[in-house]
Chains A and B, each alone.
Chain A
């Protein structure tokens, strides 16, 4: 089975734009016999288990990261591909220590040099990415790498490098560091500044023009810090190299040499405008420069430049046989076993673009976010039970509380919006005024019924009296009285329902 190494494409004449990719290419080129491996300049990191290159494909499994690849190849069944087999235990320990050392010190230096520094990034790094990435990835991958580099170097306090050069023209924003802004704000507020830089001194021969002005410009102010950082990295490496041919032994390169070459080559070869890192190596550690040259010869098999256009011209041979590809490589002059990038169907491209756009939209991105933690598959048994009960309230409580308050707030907001959109005509009354204020309610109805009763009785009595005077019988009077009582009871009952109907009855 042919091992397939996926890396970021070539840049600066080196096989890859990334330090670990360069290291992995160097390692495979040295350790794995030719014909047993190929290298692919790829851009879709989704295939890699850790979303980064280098990624080694062996059949269906992928291994990501330089250290993991080296470890995997050392235990590879088809003849272990190892460069570290001849090391003593002390050298193995040194290899582990200096690998960590490279990661902690060389990585921030590269970040500062190629990504954080605006001048270098816009002039060198960004165009190099454009050459190796398809158009849509070019909007995503380089800014992501730059943001990661900024996050890694934020603690160094060298944000002054990350400044648009056009900002340097005006003296007010000249010192764009934090203290510069502070001084400018003080000056604007009329507070006498106590900083030495803003006091007119012997050395300042005009606005930001004297030696002091020159030295306080962000590039040079940072220069001292940068040189100190570069020395922190190069000094111990120089000491380790000593008089040996390689970092660990005198006879053969190890995986540490590959890793060191990966980082050092990206410090030396790119023609950056702010070349403080390159100058630091060339001026103070000429032996390290010679070491880099030698490693390039030995690990990559020749010092010639690798051009991105050459590598991508191989895409014309996609799907052809290996022999044709071999011929094409020899014709172009590529020594490494480059293979054309596998063609990407348009649907995948559209899907990738859609995913990237969605993941940059605030709320939608939550749905598209991949889990960033891969827990250990085999948790080790412990003496105490792993199911410790937490004394914190469960997040469920908090979530339900949040959901409840959100519901309440959105209900109030909804009512408010409804009110503002459909305002009521006229004043808002919370209780409709009564039409008959004088009424006494049910008591009034009862009294009214009593009054009717009294009136009807009076009427009857007057009628009866008039009839009596008219010479009527006692019989009629009795009958009349009974009728009145009947009407009175009936009227009283009816009254509680409606006044007019009783009136009709009576009248």
Chain B
């Protein structure tokens, strides 16, 4: 019972020296004083990692190119990428070039374009290559008008069929594969030699399968003859005009022709053309060589 008597006494003592009622959660004053000193120093926000996307205000065209080529805006080493890269330059759109590969593309094939969006939180849909022309017309500054020549489609099929097949054969199924395709398409993809070997095999098999779609036998002579005839026809239709079909300004057709002629005439492609038969065919066509030179000088001054 004495303990009971003491307790009221304690209470009385507390009451005489009134203190603010402390809850369980209140920080004890010494610790609070210590923590009041924090933070001792506020650092500035960390920078974004190097690979974080920047330049969101610019359209980005994803193409096959080297890292150095991407910063310089050099021409791509892939014909269909170079065609659209050149076309976008014709339409005077501001865009930057990003080095990429087929796995990055939503459609499975390069090129594609990631449009800049005013609102970063709502990115726009990527534009695949078959819709690039329409997109450029809707968003472009200078409209590139296409000549309404009735032969336009026919001459385009020369490029897409005859010349493309000779290109596929020459690049993938001759010694050019070692000197050009290997260093451009195979070596950058992986550092593992077995993976590289598998990719090289797949590339060649795909090229062969594509060529076998249109004939049961891939005959080099007839492919080169067809390409020779096609380049001859293209030179004839260009004639003495500056651009194809007598247009005022270069258009998609000029870009398509340039995509092949430039790469065939470019000695710095890979390690150079080891089997130069297709290159010689183009070299004999002086007007096409001049046409390529005009575009290169006006739109790729750094290259």
Contacts and interface: CB of A to CB of B under 8 A. Distances in A.
The majority secondary structure among interface residues of chain B is: helix
B157 A101 contact: yes
B136 interface: no
Interface in A343-393: 372-377, 379-393
A97 B161 contact: no
B247 to A, nearest CB: 17
Contacts of A71: 225
A382 B233 contact: no
Interface string A224-251: 0000000010001001100000000000
Given A51-B217, A373-B208, A390-B182, A96 B274 contact: no
B158 A393 contact: no
Contacts of B220: 373-376
Interface string B125-139: 000000000000000
B186 A392 contact: yes
A252 B259 CA distance: 37
Contacts of B186: 392
Contacts of B216: 50-52, 148, 372
Contact of B215 (A52, A92, A389): A52
Nearest to A395: B197
B162 interface: yes
A216 B214 CA distance: 32
A97 B197 contact: no
A199 B229 CA distance: 54
A223 interface: no
A380 B182 contact: no
A235 to B, nearest CB: 8
A233 to B, nearest CB: 9
A398 interface: yes
A398 B197 contact: yes
Which of B154, B175, B218, B272 is the most central at the interface, judged by chain A CB atoms within 10 Å of its CB? Answer: B154
Contact of A96 (B193, B215, B233): B233
B276 interface: yes
B158 A100 contact: yes
Contacts of B218: 372-374
B158 A103 contact: no
Contact of A101 (B154, B226, B272): B154
- Chain B interface size, as a band, is 35 or more
Contacts of B174: 375-376, 379
B157 A65 contact: no
A68 B273 CA distance: 28
B178 A388 contact: yes
Contacts of A391: 182-183, 187
A386 B175 contact: yes
Contacts of B274: 382, 384-386, 388
A240 B179 contact: no
A173 B193 CA distance: 47
Contacts of A384: 179, 271-274
Contacts of B187: 391
Contacts of B273: 382, 384
B55 interface: no
Contacts of B157: 97, 100-101, 103-105
A307 interface: no
Contacts of A373: 173, 208, 217-218, 220
A393 B236 contact: no
Nearest to B175: A386
Interface in B182-217: 182-183, 186-187, 193-194, 196-197, 200, 208, 212-217
Contact of A392 (B179, B193, B277): B193
B302 interface: no
B213 A152 contact: yes
A273 interface: no
Contacts of B226: 67, 100
Interface in A131-176: 148, 151-152
Contacts of A96: 158, 229-230, 232-233
Contacts of B154: 94, 97-98, 100-101, 236, 240
Which of B213, B219, B271 is the most central at the interface, judged by chain A CB atoms within 10 Å of its CB? Answer: B219
B258 interface: no
A498 interface: no
B219 to A, nearest CB: 5
B118 to A, nearest CB: 28
A85 interface: no
Nearest to A375: B220
A89 interface: yes
22 contacts: A49-B217, A50-B216, A100-B158, A100-B161, A100-B162, A101-B154, A103-B161, A151-B213, A152-B214, A236-B151, A372-B208, A374-B217, A374-B218, A382-B276, A383-B272, A383-B276, A384-B271, A386-B274, A389-B178, A391-B182, A393-B197, A398-B194
Given A93-B233, A376-B277, A382-B272, 4 more contacts: A100-B158, A239-B150, A375-B220, A379-B275
